[in-house]
Amino acid sequence: MTVAPTTRLQDPLITQPGKGLAKVLLLSESSRNHGALDAVLAKASILLEKAGSTEAAAEAMRAPGGPEVFLLECGDDGRQLLSWVESLTKSAADAGILPCLLLLIPQAHTELAIAGIKAGAYDFVPQPCLPDRLLAAVYRAIEYRRLRVQNDLHRYHLEQLITARTKILQNAMQQLEQSYDVTLEALGNALDLKDAETEGHSKRVTAYTLALGRAMGLSEPQLRVVGRGAFLHDIGKMAIPDAILRKPGKLTDAETAIMRTHSELGYRMVRKIPYLREAAEIVYAHQECFDGSGYPRGLMGEQIHIGARIFAVADTLDAITSNRPYRRARTITEARREVLRCAGTQFDPAIVDVFTATPDSIWLNLREGIMRDGPEFSPFSYTFGPVEVR
Ligand SMILES: [Fe+2]
């Protein structure tokens, strides 16, 4: 998550050295008089503030309009102060906007200087300070902090820009996918018109497959693939002659063989459409059986796309609970019994478990919704809500 820089980043006090008021905060271990330091900085229009304790210094550093430079005067035993500085910079969420740290250390105390740099100090100035040396170090520190702040702001704005552009792109992609789905619905409706026996079947089976997929814990992107595959499962029937597709009686062996080509025909029809590439696998495998006895490839178990395995159960539910010219629709209880009977042979037992644990009301509500809304019902609207398994 992008963290917005505090208002201090836009603080007008951050100025070019020598071109306006800058602020330096001093924390000292000693109680010496800092009048000389005050005078040097005042001459350069730099305001010197003093903190009486580490707590006061930490508060002053984070306050709006706080200092650009933090002068820390360490005595011979300044290591304790340094570890405080280190913990401050490491733990502060806004470490990036803390003032630039300058150390004032006793003359020839090199070890302390090195430890200070390791703790996050930008530079050090040996004491007693030469005014020019001190001023030059303060200027450099102010300039360094100004650049650091500008860099942080620039990065922040860039991140904001990227987030905004990404959102626009995602919305555009979503709209594009929605318009694809509208096209798919037109295709499915066309098939339903051609094959009167299955009127509404594509939508029902898609709704059932999505509800089962959701109960199986499939992700939203997986559900989109599975929904499209289920909806288009019989699209290959568009290429089956009407004399066979609409034949009222039993099909001959030759006709059955032709009818069975619809899986592969459907696969070939949709596989070249990039956003349907994976859904095409479901179209291809929708007549396969878990034990390998299905067609066209005789795939087994997990060789069959999860969407096709879920679809198989949804398809049987719809077939049993729909009217046919030769028999009336049967109940969901009967469908459940039949699915259970074929667990491990026609169906994946894991999916059967989820199906048998799903309340009848889920299927009834979906069926009623499709009947009520007719052509207006969109199987891709994903408004079914979560499916609660008993
Ligand atoms: Fe089929």
141-190 per-position pLDDT tens digit: 999 988 888 888 899 899 999 999 999 999 998 888 788 888 888 877 77
The rounded distance, in Å, linking the Cα atoms of 203 and 367 is 9
Domain annotation covers residue 321: yes
pLDDT at 113: 87
Residues in the chain where the model's pLDDT stays below 50: 1-19, 382-390
H helix count then E strand count, the chain: 15, 5
Q: What is the DSSP letter of 6?
A: P
Domain annotation covers residue 35: yes
For 197, the 3-state DSSP assignment is: helix
Question: What is the Å distance from ligand 1's center to 40 Cα?
Answer: 89
- 205 Cβ contact partners less than 8 Å away, ≥ 6 residues apart: 230, 231, 233, 311, 314, 315, 318
Q: Domain containing 144 — which CATH number?
A: 3.40.50.2300
Q: How many CB atoms lie within 10 A of CB 147?
A: 10
Question: What is the Å distance from ligand 1's center to 261 Cα?
Answer: 9
Question: What is the Å distance from ligand 1's center to 252 Cα?
Answer: 17
Domain annotation covers residue 14: yes
Find the domain containing 287 and state its range: 195-376
Domain annotation covers residue 368: yes
Question: What is the Å distance from ligand 1's center to 50 Cα?
Answer: 82
**Count of residues making up the chain:** 390
Q: Write out the two tokens for 190.
A: 């066309």
CB 314 within 8 A of CB 256: no
pLDDT at 265: 96
Question: What is the Å distance from ligand 1's center to 156 Cα?
Answer: 54
Is the domain of 225 the same as that of 355? Answer: yes
Domain annotation covers residue 181: no
pLDDT at 323: 82
Question: What is the Å distance from ligand 1's center to 259 Cα?
Answer: 9
Question: What is the Å distance from ligand 1's center to 287 Cα?
Answer: 6
Per-chain residues with Cβ under 5 A from ion ligand 1: 234
Question: What is the Å distance from ligand 1's center to 231 Cα?
Answer: 11
Domain count of the chain? 2
- CA distances to 25, 161, 169 from 131, in Å: 17, 45, 56
Beta bridge partners of 47: 23
pLDDT at 308: 98
Predicted TM-score (pTM) of the model is: 0.60
| Region for residue 217 given its phi and psi (left: phi exceeds 0; alpha: psi -120 to 50; beta: otherwise) | left
Question: What is the Å distance from ligand 1's center to 72 Cα?
Answer: 79
- CA distances to 36, 215, 354, 380 from 220, in Å: 68, 12, 18, 11
